Amino acid sequence: MLSLGKLLELTLAGREPADKTQVTVEGVRLRWLGEGALEVRPPAATDSGLDLLLSAGIHGNETAPIELLDELLGAVASGRLKPRARILFLFGNPAAIRRGERYVEQDINRLFNARHESASGVEAMRAAELEQFARVFFSLPERSRLHYDLHTAIRGSKIEQFALYPYQEGRAHSRQQLARLKAAGVQAVLLQRKSSITFSAFTYERLGAEAFTLELGKARPFGHNGMVDLDRLRLRLEQLIEGCEPAIDDALEGLQLFSVAREVIKHSDQFRLHLPDNIENFSELPPGYVLAEDLAHSRWVVEEQGARIIFPNPHVRNGLRAGILIVPASDSELG
């Protein structure tokens, strides 16, 4: 296997490769772009026209997706996978990955769409670098652009594998992309209704890619992800890489759709989230439930029928979301 196929090993060691470019016997070109970043380019004669960005490790302790990308890149470097797509592999937050922690100083996935410009520290610099990697990668005209940003959740979930679909005014969510996610084992999709500051929101809103944040189970250390079943996702990614994806039926039966009702924002250190510490994502909350209070600002009471909570986290920095209240949506809302 070509040594550049060991991008994760290089990243964990904090080393640069001796050779920045290598070519497989089939003519696939691997190019190291910087720490945790590697571009794969197929021979021109076999190029499918797809630019596929695969990122993981935006949060350093979410290891199952990191291991999945490591396996895919290793298969490319050894010749087991024969790419027809251009691929950019990104390990998002190398410093946090090496520590086995969610982040070093601040949540990097709240620093995109120029938010890093008003921040400082290692994560702010890395967010700017990741934006530039993506901007250059998606700069070629007349190509399909797809970005999967792979995560696992802090807590357990009643729906284990789900996706967040960013929002851009005047742009419809794609049924075909949702059907592709369903085929990859995703059970639910949250249709966002406003601009965001995550990595997938940046590539969707600024670079014109179809982009998703995928949540793939619960965060566990390296080597302890046997309970996370990524077989369907792995197969779909291999098919996208090799340009042999089956025809996509855009029927969405069985895929649960949700939309954002409200975001719960932590304004001050007096913020209190009235939920059990072990509550799971997608837990239902009845109307009238007092969800959170911030004595300096606000009180959140559940008003919506069928409301559920995802990403509850009272420990975020002031000014950031401490949870998302979601409600069921229908595919009629896609247009």
Q: Give tens-digit pLDDT for 176-198.
A: 999 999 999 999 999 998 899 99
Report, as an integer, the average pLDDT of 270-291. 94
Q: Give tens-digit pLDDT for 189-242.
A: 999 988 999 999 999 999 999 999 999 987 776 776 666 789 999 999 999 999
**Residue 290 φ/ψ, nearest 5 degrees:** -80, 105
Active site residue 131: no
**Residue 15 φ/ψ, nearest 5 degrees:** -110, 155
Q: Give tens-digit pLDDT for 25-82.
A: 999 999 999 999 999 999 999 999 999 999 999 999 999 999 999 999 999 999 999 9
Average pLDDT, the chain: 93
Percent of the chain with pLDDT over 90: 81
Q: Is 62 annotated as a binding residue?
A: yes
pLDDT for residue 153: 82
Could you give all domains of the chain from N- to C-terminal order, each with its CATH number?
3-242 (3.40.630.10), 261-333 (2.40.50.630)
> 188-219 as b/e, with b when 16 or more CB fall inside 10 Å?
bbbbbeeebbbbbbbbbbbbebbbbbbbbbbb
Q: Is 160 annotated as a binding residue?
A: no
Percent of the chain with pLDDT over 70: 97
Q: Give tens-digit pLDDT for 11-22.
A: 999 999 999 999
| β-pairing verdict for 161-165 and 188-191 | parallel
Neighbours of 65 (CB within 10 A): 30
pLDDT for residue 114: 87
Contact 304, 287 (CB under 8 A): yes
**Residue 182 φ/ψ, nearest 5 degrees:** -60, -45
Neighbours of 55 (CB within 10 A): 28
Which pLDDT band holds residue 119 (cuts at 50, 70, 90)?
confident
Residue showing tokens 């896609």: 334
Of these residues, 129, 210, 215, 280, which one is catalytic? 215
Residue showing tokens 């490319």: 76
pLDDT for residue 319: 87
Q: Is 297 annotated as a binding residue?
A: no
pLDDT for residue 101: 95
pLDDT for residue 125: 97
Does residue 169 carry a pLDDT above 70? Answer: yes
The number of residues in the chain equals 335
Q: Does residue 204 come out as left (phi exceeding 0), alpha (psi in the -120 to 50 range) or beta? A: alpha
Contact 183, 248 (CB under 8 A): yes
Which pLDDT band holds residue 331 (cuts at 50, 70, 90)?
confident
Does residue 301 carry a pLDDT above 80? Answer: yes
pTM: 0.94
| 3-state per-residue secondary structure call for the chain | CCHHHCHHHHHHHCCCCCCCEEECCCCCEEEEEECCEEEEECCHHHCCCEEEEEEECCCCCCHHHHHHHHHHHHHHHHCCCCCCCEEEEEECCHHHHHHCCCCCCCCHHHCCCCHHHHCCCHHHHHHHHHHHHHHHHCCCCCCEEEEEEEEEECCCECCCEEEEECCCCCCCCCHHHHHHHHHCCCCEEEECCCCCCCHHHHHHHHHCCEEEEEEEEECCCCCCCCCCCCHHHHHHHHHHHHCCCCCCCCCCCCCEEEEEEEEEECCCCCEEECCCCCCCECEECCCCCEEEEECCCEEEECCCCCCEEECCCCCCCCCCEEEEEEEECCHHHCC
Crossing angle of the two packed helices 175-183 and 231-242, in degrees rounded to 10: 120
